Amino acid sequence: MKILVFGATGGTGREVVRQGLDQGHEITAFVRRPEALAIAHERLRVAVGDAAADDRAIAQALAGQEAVVSSLGRGNSLRSEGLMRRCMARIVPALERLGPRRFILVTAFGVGDSAHDAPLVPRIMYCTLLAGLFADKKVAEETVRASALDWTIVRPVILVGGGATGRYRAGESLALRGLPQISRADVAHFILGEIGAKRFVRKVVALAD
C-alpha cells in the first residue's frame, strides 16, 4: 500500500516507516526536518512541511495515498503547545476533502475515558504530570471522532524501546496492572496490520504487552 506517516521522525513513527518498508509498502514520511529521519530506501519518499501550519504541503503529500498514520507528539516535552489539536485541525479536513479515508491516530492510554481503567500510579501521572499533554490529545481525538473518515484511534500504554515481539494485547478494554508497557516496535506492528485488517474501524483500541 501507499502510506503517509505524520510524525515519522518520532520513536513510533520511525518504526512505522521502517516496518512498512520491510513489508513492501510505499511510504511517504511527512517531516519538518528531513535530516532527522535518517532512513533511506527506494520506496521511501520524504515530504517536508509543518503539519500544524502548512495546508499546501499536507495536500501535496496526500496525493495518491491509500492510508494515513499520525504518530505526532511532543516527544519528551511535557508542554503540549496545542500541537495535536492544531495538527488534526488541518489534517482531518484535508483527508475528508482529498482522501484517503483510512486514518490511524496514535494518542496514549489515559486520554479521555481510558484514565478510569488505568492502575493507580499511571492514573495519578495522567492527572498531574501529563494533564496538559493528554488534554491536547483528547481534543485531537474528538476532531477525528467527529469526522467521516474510517478512523482508528490507538492508545498504547507506556512506550519503551526494543524490537517487535508480536506478543501484545489489543482491545477496546484491557485489564491492566502496575506500570504496563509496550514497545514502540509492537505499536508499529499493530498499526500496519490494522490498516488492512480494519478490525477497529471507527473504534478506539488500547495496546499493552
User: How crowded is residue 24: how many other Cβ atoms within 10 Å of its Cβ?
Assistant: 8
- Give, for all 209 residues of the chain, the pLDDT tens digit: 999 999 999 999 999 999 999 999 999 999 999 999 989 999 999 999 999 999 999 999 999 999 999 999 987 777 788 999 999 999 999 999 999 999 999 999 999 888 778 777 777 878 787 888 999 999 999 999 999 999 999 999 999 999 999 999 999 999 898 899 999 999 999 999 999 999 999 999 999 99
Considering only CA atoms, which of 131, 86, 89, 133 is closest in space to residue 107?
133
User: Domain range for residue 107?
Assistant: 2-208
Domain count of the chain?
1
Q: For residue 58, give the 3-state DSSP assignment.
A: helix
Q: What is the CATH number of the domain that holds 28?
A: 3.40.50.720
| Residue 158 in grid coordinates | 507506556
Give the position of cell 508480536.
Answer: 166
- pTM of the predicted model as reported, rounded to 2 decimal places: 0.94
Q: How far is it, in rounded angstroms, from Cα 95 to Cα 87?
A: 12
The rounded distance, in Å, linking the Cα atoms of 73 and 80 is 8
